[in-house]
Amino acid sequence: MEIKTKRLTLRPVRIGDEEEIHEYAGDKDLTMMFWLPNETFEETCDFVKRNAADWESPNQTDFEFVIVYNGKIIGGCDADLSHSEDRSYATLGWIINKQYRNMGFASEAGSALLDFAFENLNVEKVYAQCDTLNTASYNVMKKIGMTCVNDTGTRTYPKTGKTSGEYTCMITKEEWRDMNKR
């Protein structure tokens, strides 16, 4: 399974990706991500092992991709069904290595991930969430056609215990179809 866009390839996480993933996953400046930064390279290795194995499972609920640009992994993204018991919706997430931010890669990957969720996972809705201070991620959500449905949420970061505001954005399959007709 590979997804090609104008500039990017989204492909499943696989064994051998550990070092390039750790470049961004181990970045201590990541302060607005639930489970990052990884404190150790071993944490990243465990992540890769777990997610590479998920791609082999018929019961997979989290579809973790790496984002490849010019042969280099520059980030990751996922479509996750685990929050939806009936699998009627997916949640999306993305992260870009700080050396590659502000170049439109998150929007390009996010748009491709939306297509994947609606076309391959057969969901009716897709959600994404971000810290209210993460304007870049919020702008990606708007750019790929999502609408803010809750701006009063909160999130507590497991690694720091810090609580912050949270935006929840959504797009329906019908809205996505209408957007793609243009």
How do the pLDDT tens digits run along the chain, 182 residues long?
899 999 999 999 999 999 998 888 877 776 556 566 667 888 888 989 999 999 988 889 999 999 999 999 999 999 999 888 888 899 999 999 999 999 999 999 999 999 999 999 999 999 999 999 899 999 999 999 999 999 999 988 877 788 989 999 999 999 999 988 86
Return the domain boundaries, the chain: 3-181
End-to-end CA distance of the chain: 27
Q: What's the CATH fold of domain 3-181?
A: Aminopeptidase (3.40.630)
The DSSP H or E segment spanning 75 is strand 72-80
Q: Say if CB 125 and CB 79 are below 8 A apart.
A: no
